Amino acid sequence: MKIEITDQMTLSEIQNEFHELFPFLKIEFYSKPHQTHEPSSKSSMLKPSTLVKDCRTIHNDGNIFIHGGLTVERLEHIFQECYGLSVQVFRKSGSVWIETTVTDDWTLNKQNEEAESFFKASDELNESERNILGN
């Protein structure tokens, strides 16, 4: 998948394109960069309506080519080094989103598959509970 990065787009446009490819993952943007395997401060999270031009430190237009074989660490590095955008990848875990700090070395496919299998197991458990209760 190719995501075009321009100053005129909003962060939500990038987030939506990423989420289409990886439905159990999301990316959030921050005003400050973070190190590998470190979390980002919630207070520095940017609103999805923010324009790219208002939050990046490198004003290059271009494309990010995202595929399942990229690691979280590499994706975050590309956003930071090429476009001056600080991002953090999150994985769906039940009804919450968790930062992937401990698993930054996993590929995007592995992150997404892990979250999907957790979702399916949780869904099957809920179905079993409904059957036991006779609903």
Q: Which residue reads 């996993």 in tokens?
A: 106
Give the per-residue pLDDT at 36: 78
Report how far apart, in Å, the C-alpha atoms of 107 and of each of 22, 34, 63, 68, 79 are. 11, 19, 20, 6, 16
The answer to whether residues 67 and 44 touch, using CB atoms and an 8 Å cutoff, is no
Cβ pair 33, 86 in contact under 8 A: yes
78-87 pLDDT tens trace: 999 999 999 9
pLDDT at 34: 80
Residue 54 burial (CB count, 10 A): 10
> Which residues, including other chains, have CB under 8 Å from residue 134's CB and lie 6 or more apart?
none
Burial of 32 (0-12, 13-18, 19+ CB in 10 A): exposed
In this prediction, residue 76 carries a pLDDT of: 96
> What does pTM read for this prediction?
0.84
Are the C-beta atoms of 90 and 28 separated by less than 8 Å?
A: yes
pLDDT-flagged residues of the chain (< 70): 121-135
Per-residue pLDDT, 126: 53
